[in-house]
A and B are shown apart, each in its own frame.
Chain A
């Protein structure tokens, strides 16, 4: 039951938040369908080398937001979530990725016009790849 999760210890984002967002993305993308079991808090903490306090916090938030469900004695499972919610997470994930990219460019003193140019160029390259 190992999850493809990578914690960036150097990131300014808190670890529980990274964990939360990555599990959400796995659920929204359908990689973790409803009913899939999640690792126990202790097992996931060991794999990610973080404390159970951090993992528990992420699981609690996910449960509160309705992404996962914990059944006493049975474990934690992916909840049945509706498509609107999945869609919302997807949009947020993509939006955030682009936002980060733009911020990186701004930090390197690019102007908005230049960033747009790069964006267009990336789009052209990827379209060509898709087409071939």
Chain B
């Protein structure tokens, strides 16, 4: 499938922080999760996609066209939910609705009303008088109802109560099925990543570790419980050990081949939780690039 959004050799330097070079492409009907520690560059990358942060070098193409043009009609295709909305405090939900709907020709009023009802959002209160969680719900409703082709969400479930998080997950799944859509979501919630993401984009200190298909990534990692103790030197693919008989690998095939060749039997081979894999990737020194 032709990608809708492409990033080529994107770079930005902020003080002593360097983001990039980043090359990525995003195909329709997929959900991409942006993953990284605080300060890894996720939000900056999202802002650059919206042309809200200036890039130093590189290109961003939307439907094959550079977004650097003066003409900003491309913004009709993307809606963006920042971590915090700025400048909304003195408006009510109703006023914000009028402002937002005015900008997007694809605005779906019926859908917005439905979201407001589901999340139980008081539209007549001033934004600043809403709790953080309700502010988030309102901004999500405003963003989703734009019904654009592409949706960029920066930590959508932060500050939300548990039932609302679960509901949002279903809403996002249904949003994806409204038509051909693309979603990019930055999140620290493993539940969001497990249930929503097709691809994981992993950023570390401004560097792109890679874009990984979820199951493909998970299949690389395994934990073996061996029957005999291992030799002291590391075995192929090994990234960690617990005692002498439990070993973790990130190259499942190589490790298994070694174990069979050297006649080590194992009692159990188990997959790692996504949370564990992400922790390993983000804590490991950079040496291996993904596809």
Residues of A bordering B, CB below 8 Å? 9-10, 12, 14-15, 40, 42-43, 45-46, 49-54
Contact = CB atoms under 8 A, between A and B. Distances in A.
B199 A40 contact: no
A49 B194 contact: yes
A45 to B, nearest CB: 7
B282 interface: no
A42 B169 contact: no
A13 B186 CA distance: 31
A86 to B, nearest CB: 29
Interface in B149-175: 169-170, 173
Interface string B119-135: 00000000000000000
B177 A51 contact: no
Nearest to B256: A12
Interface in B174-211: 176-177, 194-199
B29 interface: yes
Contacts of B195: 46, 49
A9 B198 contact: no
Contact of A42 (B177, B194, B214, B270): B177
Contact of A51 (B169, B173, B215, B269): B215
List the 3 shortest-distance A-B pairs measured between CB atoms, nearest first: A51-B198, A51-B214, A9-B271
Given A40-B177, A43-B173, A51 B199 contact: yes
Interface residues of B, number: 23
Interface of B: 29-31, 169-170, 173, 176-177, 194-199, 213-215, 218-219, 268-271
Contacts of A52: 29-31, 198
Nearest to A55: B198
Contact of B218 (A9, A46, A53): A9
A72 to B, nearest CB: 13
Given A40-B177, A42-B177, A46-B173, A10 B198 contact: no
Contacts of A9: 218, 271
Nearest to A7: B215
Given A51-B197, A51-B199, A53-B213, 4 more contacts: A9-B218, A10-B271, A46-B196, A49-B194
Contacts of B197: 51
Contacts of A43: 173, 177
A12 B176 CA distance: 31
A92 B173 CA distance: 35
Given A40-B177, A43-B173, A54 B196 contact: no
Contact of A54 (B215, B269, B270): B215
Contacts of A15: 215
Nearest to B191: A49
